[in-house]
Chains A and B, each alone.
Chain A
Amino acid sequence: MSSPADLTLAEATASLRAGELSSRELLQGTLDRAGLTEAELHAYLTIDHERARAAAAAADEARARGETTGPLHGIPVAIKDNMVTAGLETTAGSQILAGYIPPYDAAAVIALRKAGAVIVGKTNLDEFAMGSSTENSGYGPSANPWDTERVPGGSSGGSAAVVAAGSAMMALGSDTGGSIRQPAALCGVVGMKPTYGLVSRYGLIAFASSLDQIGPIARTVGDAAVALEVIAGHDPLDATSYRGAYPRYRASIGRGVAGLRVGVVAELAGEGISPDVLSAFRSVVDSLADAGAVVSEVSLPSMEYALSAYYLIAPAECSANLARFDGVRYGLRVEGATVEEMTARTRALGFGPEVTRRVLLGTYALSAGYYEAFYGQAQKVRTLVIQDFTKAYESVDVLVSPTSPMTAFEFGSRTEDPLSMYLVDVCTIPSNLVGAPGISVPVGLDGSGLPIGFQVMAPSLGEEILFRVAAEVERSSAWNDRRPPLLEADHGV
């Protein structure tokens, strides 16, 4: 191994414990990697060199005293820039928050610090997490480490790209309609969206409050499980936080899938999925069957309506949440003669086109005369989607599908028609409507050498079985922590 940046989280932790590697060396390797790749990737919006070095030094000193703070002790991690970090600029990818220095840390960030993590920086995203490619970032898009002419996916595209490139060992993302799983799939890493309520949303800049959930992006399923153990937990500052028990997810890894019932979602495993993705998906399903899983095909008839319901519910909630960006308490202000004029000008200049589009869409769907026909109807369809899943889980333990219908696409290929971008999320959106967990695991490359993701979905609070199946997917697909070509030859790493 030529650089500590290429270690998995588990390997790095073992080396740190054995004294073969210091946190400072690990951070240096990570920062060197960022130095080599960032000009092409633009995956970070901010790298916090100084405080990261101080945190790594503190981690080494603590270890020398025989103290370790937690399972991420001395591990370099990155945070999607829609989670607030005390004293470190947080923009949510929006010009309306340029220069904003939050006075407090998000709950998930506090959890990382407590577990000993070294925060390297803040990663790029589609503005306010609205998008599937990072092309909607107010600070320019990120590129895919597997092909820098292509998008890394989104909205957590920066987080997926830094993990794939080795410029962070783990990164937090947020997933409202697939924003952790889809970029993880497109960048060849593991991305996990937990059950709604498992990770506190306190300090996550809200997009759609009934759908948003924070989760980890990591190089392996086991690393994702470690990270989830750190960030999951009840938080009185989030009224939707889950109050029950939080298991040790790592214990699920390696238990195999013998006897587990795996349902292939018929509506997501046929027409509309690219042939390479479909064939990789089918081959992993066969491997699961070989490993003793009982595979059947399951139909979720409401699936075709889920996307439409989502693109009413998410914009409706976003139009309400983004009302707080009014030029009064933080961020940009464009002067006007009255408050209303000031606010309208501030938002016109501060919001990019996609955010403007969704705020308008949501405002319309919630407005008098249209509420029932659009938003109200979408909420009822959401109930039907939930009922479909509940029924399916009577006969299977997990559901599986491709994560994304296609692999990484070229910049600009979907920006002209907003609807064509929305369709990218068709396989991931249902989990958000249901509030249930989902994970994307890399399983192979398509004909152009681009990663393919395999999605496992489980019922709410079914994380243990989710990780159990995901670990088998990882094992049987022989992905072997493959690395992007960006890291080969000409970069000398």
Chain B
Amino acid sequence: MHERTLCPASSEHRASGLARASGIRSGRTYNRRVAIDIDIAYVARLARIELSDDELQHFGAQLKGILEHAALVQQLPTDGVEPTAHPLPMVNAFRPDQVTPPLERETALSQAPDAEAGYFRVPPTLEAE
């Protein structure tokens, strides 16, 4: 399974700025390469995208490359740093609970690939025995 790969950031990490962030400087791009372990078939299933074996291999290899770069985020010490999910220091956005006309049912269904009797129509949600 996955191994945690947090590395301490050194001053050297911080020194080279954009060149390292962009990988533009030749020769050295990362101080430490991170081993990325990815079960691409499982990820594709989770994402609900049906891919052929060739496609799985193709995307799997590309994702590994991208994730090796993205894993740079693991090199910064972040003890005690709160995660940011959202740029605004917002809590709740309240508004008066007023009834407004909803989208007409026919309008809402007008773009559906399949609809019947006022409902969206889909194939069985469970496989047949």
Name A's B-contacting residues (CB within 8 A).
Answer: 100-101, 103-104, 196-197, 210-211, 236, 239-243, 266-268, 270-273, 301-309, 311-312, 319, 323, 326-333, 335-345, 347-348, 351, 356-357, 359-361, 363-365, 367, 369-370, 373-374, 376-384, 386, 405, 417-419, 422-423, 426, 433-436, 460
Q: List 19 A-B contacts (CB under 8 A).
A: A267-B21, A271-B16, A312-B70, A312-B73, A319-B47, A328-B120, A332-B113, A335-B123, A339-B124, A344-B45, A344-B49, A361-B66, A363-B43, A363-B47, A367-B43, A377-B74, A380-B81, A405-B22, A460-B88
Q: CA separation between A210 and B59, bound complex, in Å?
A: 26
Which residue of chain A is the closest to B40 with respect to CB atoms?
A360
Q: Is B103 an interface residue (CB 8 A)?
A: yes
B18 touches A272 (CB 8 A): yes
Q: A240-B88, A384-B81, A386-B84 are in contact. Are A305 and B72 (CB under 8 A)?
A: yes
Contact B49 A373 (CB under 8 A): no
* Contact B88 A360, beta carbon cutoff 8 Å: no
Whether A426 pairs with B18 at a CB distance below 8 angstroms is yes
Of the candidates B18, B66, B78, B110, which one forms a contact with A267 in the assembled complex, judged by CB atoms under 8 Å apart? B18
Collect the chain A residues with CB atoms within 8 Å of residue B111's CB.
Answer: 100-101, 103, 329-331
Pairwise interchain contact B48-A379, C-beta atoms closer than 8 A: no
Contact A272:B22 (CB < 8 A) given known A103-B103, A369-B1, A383-B82: yes
* B75-93 Cβ-contact flags toward A at 8 Å (1 or 0): 1101001111111101001
CB pair B47–A268 under 8 Å, yes or no, is: no
Alpha-carbon distance A307/B22, docked complex (angstroms): 8
- A118: min CB distance to chain B, Å: 25
Partner of A304, one of B16, B63, B107, B120: B16
Residue of A103, A384, A422 touching B107 (CB-CB under 8 A) = A103
Contact of A210 with B48 in the complex, beta carbons under 8 Å: no
Binary interface profile of B, 86-115, with partner A (CB < 8 Å = 1, else 0)?
A: 111010010100000001000110111110
Given A271-B18, A311-B66, A344 contacting B48 (CB threshold 8 A): yes
Partner of B67, one of A236, A337, A363, A374: A374
For B90, what are the chain A residues with a Cβ–Cβ distance below 8 Å? 240
Distance between B117 CB and nearest chain A CB, rounded to angstroms: 16
B127 sits at the interface (CB 8 A): yes
Q: Give the nearest-CB partner of B45 in chain A.
A: A344
The B contact surface, by secondary structure, is loop
> A344 is contacted by which of B43, B50, B85, B110 (Cβ under 8 Å)?
B50
The reply to whether B50 and A345 contact each other, CB–CB distance below 8 Å, is yes
Interface size on B, residues (CB 8 A): 70
Alpha-carbon separation in the docked complex, A440 to B79 (Å)? 36
Report A-chain residues with C-beta under 8 Å of the C-beta of B71. Answer: 308, 373-374
Question: In the complex the two chains form, is B120's CB within 8 Å of A369's CB?
Answer: no
CA distance A100 to B123 in the complex (A): 21
- B residues less than 8 Å from A382 (CB atoms): 83-84
Q: CB distance A329 to B112 under 8 Å?
A: yes
In the assembly, what is the distance between CA of A240 and CA of B85, in Å?
13
A197 contacts B17, CB within 8 Å? no
Report the bound CA distance from A337 to B24 in whole Å.
48
Which residue of the partner chain, among B17, B21, B107, B113, contacts A333 with CB atoms under 8 Å?
A: B113
Interface status of B125 (Cβ within 8 A of chain A): yes
> In whole angstroms, how far apart are the Cα atoms of A363 and B72 in the complex?
19
Decide if B113 touches A240 in the complex (CB within 8 Å).
no
Q: With A and B bound together, what is the CA distance between A381 and B19 in angstroms?
A: 19
Neighbouring A residues of B124 by C-beta, 8 Å: 337-339
How distant is the Cα of A266 from the Cα of B15 in the complex, in angstroms? 11
Instruction: Give chain B nearest CB distance to A133 CB in angstroms.
Output: 17
How far apart are A194's CB and chain B's nearest CB, in angstroms? 12
Provide the bound-state CA to CA distance between A240 and B48, in Å.
29
CB distance from B88 to the nearest CB of A (A): 6
Closest A residue by C-beta to B113: A333
Kindly state the separation between the CA atoms of A377 and B2 in the bound complex, as whole angstroms: 15
Is the CB of B57 closer than 8 A to any CB of chain A?
Answer: no
- B16: A residues at CB distance < 8 A: 271, 304
* Bound-state Cα–Cα, A382 to B84, Å: 6
The contact of B112 among A330, A338, A341, A347, by CB within 8 Å, is A330
**Extra 6 A-B pairs, beta carbons < 8 Å, given A304-B16, A311-B69, A423-B22:** A100-B111, A196-B87, A304-B14, A361-B66, A423-B24, A435-B88
Q: Chain A contacts of B25 at CB under 8 A?
A: 271-272
B69 CB to closest chain A CB, in angstroms? 6
Q: What B residues does A272 contact at CB under 8 A?
A: 18-19, 21-22, 24-25
Could you tell me if A384 and B78 are in contact, using CB atoms closer than 8 angstroms?
yes
Select A271's contact among B19, B49, B113, beta carbons within 8 Å: B19
Whether A377 pairs with B63 at a CB distance below 8 angstroms is: no
Contacts of B20 in A (CB 8 A): 304
Q: Does B8 contact A (CB under 8 A)?
A: no
Q: Which residues of chain A are near B21, meaning CB under 8 Å?
A: 267, 272, 303-308, 426
Closest chain A residue to B104, Cβ basis: A103
Q: Are B123's CB and A342's CB within 8 A?
A: yes
Known contacts A357-B62, A367-B46; A309 and B73 CB within 8 A of each other = yes
